[in-house]
Amino acid sequence: TGTIETKADVPPEEKKPAKLPPGVVLGPDGKPCRSCSSGAAFKAWSSLMKGGVATTAPAAAQAVASTPSDCPPDVEELGRASWTLLHSITATYPEKPSPQLQSETKTFMGIFAKLYPCWYCAKDFQQWMQDERNAPRVSSRDEFGRWMCEAHNHVNVRLGKKEFDCTLWEERWRTGWKD
């Protein structure tokens, strides 16, 4: 297996102009990257570009609250939508997948990690998957569902969030909670 190319490999600090609000991450093109930044930080930058001063947390939060719902996603919205898709794929995965589907699923996860729109998220996810202990496990629905839960927990830990109990993955994403 070859090395997966990263979409961008330049630390944001090296390209950051002097006046960027904290939390704004630059994309591979050197411009602020919406799908890599929090909505509040991106809004603060956007306001600054329009000559405003929305760099305080309350002003940025207010700007986010007034943002229409049909705007391009920030890093959190993109993440929630992506996890919903990924866990839902595991929920509809066959209990006994064919060897061909198993192979295609591994390929899909590799390509997904490469194309993920937040470049530093993509880079970290690829690195995590490249560790042989974390290679996708896809020989049954339960195995794939648990692997996806572990993958999500890796990001949760990275962000300082609580780990999800992976014995409950199927209730959360397939059957619904038991009464």
The binding site for ligand FAD (CB under 6 A) comprises 75-76, 79-80, 82-83, 87, 116, 120-121, 124-125, 149, 152-153, 155-156, 158-159, 164, 169, 172
The pair of three-digit structure tokens given for residue 155, joined into one six-digit string: 């990001």
Give the C-alpha separation, 12 to 120, whole Å.
10
Give the C-alpha separation, 169 to 58, whole Å.
36
Give the C-alpha separation, 58 to 65, whole Å.
10
- Other CB atoms within 10 A of residue 165 CB: 11
Closest contact distance (angstroms) between CB of 172 and ligand FAD is 5
Query: Is the CB of 42 or the CB of 169 nearer to ligand FAD?
Result: 169
Query: Rounded to a whole number, what is the largest CA-CA distance in the chain?
Result: 58
Residue number with the smallest Cβ distance to ligand FAD: 79
Closest contact distance (angstroms) between CB of 81 and ligand FAD is 8
Task: Show the beta-strand stretches assigned E in 14-149.
Answer: none
Query: Is the CB of 120 or the CB of 144 nearer to ligand FAD?
Result: 120
Closest contact distance (angstroms) between CB of 139 and ligand FAD is 19
Name the 3-class secondary structure at 54.
coil
Closest contact distance (angstroms) between CB of 50 and ligand FAD is 25
Give the C-alpha separation, 98 to 160, whole Å.
37
Closest contact distance (angstroms) between CB of 40 and ligand FAD is 13
Query: Is the CB of 52 or the CB of 57 nearer to ligand FAD?
Result: 57
Residue identified by tokens 């590799």 is 110
Query: Is the CB of 48 or the CB of 166 nearer to ligand FAD?
Result: 166
Query: Is the CB of 96 or the CB of 162 nearer to ligand FAD?
Result: 162
Give the C-alpha separation, 108 to 138, whole Å.
11
